[in-house]
Amino acid sequence: MTSSTDWPLWEVFVRSRRGLSHTHAGSLHAPDAEMALRNARDLYTRRSEGVSIWVVPSTEITASSPDEKDSFFEPAADKPYRHPTFYEIPDGVKHL
């Protein structure tokens, strides 16, 4: 059996034919980027035409740390001046 260093993990992002952005579809093992693309095509797109695939080695991705969640994502709700809630919206305005 091959070792995991020979077949590193890749993350796969797929944009469907009518899709606007690439969405993380899953991961797979492949020896290099070319094979990762081909494997992703078989595993995640069923070879539909007109889709775009990105593959990225998992080691290239830096994730935000759950420990820093508070400082990263807490919206500071006690500072209401940060939220655009003080405007009066005229009656005739739609889609705002």
User: Which chain residues interact with other proteins by CB under 8 A?
Assistant: 2, 7, 28-31, 34-35, 38-39, 42-43, 47
Burial 75-92 (b: 16+ CB within 10 A, else e): eeeeeeeeeeeeeeeeee
| CB-nearer residue toward other proteins: 31 or 83 | 31
Rounded-to-integer distance, Cα 72 and Cα 79, Å: 16
| CB-nearer residue toward other proteins: 4 or 65 | 4
| CB-nearer residue toward other proteins: 42 or 72 | 42
Q: Is 73 helix (H, G, I), strand (E, B) or coil?
A: helix
- What is the closest distance, in whole angstroms, from the C-beta atom of residue 47 to other proteins in the complex? 7
- What is the closest distance, in whole angstroms, from the C-beta atom of residue 44 to other proteins in the complex? 10
Asked whether the beta carbons of 27 and 11 are under 8 A apart, the reply is: yes
- What is the closest distance, in whole angstroms, from the C-beta atom of residue 81 to other proteins in the complex? 53
| CB-nearer residue toward other proteins: 19 or 31 | 31
Number of H helices, E strands in the chain: 2, 3
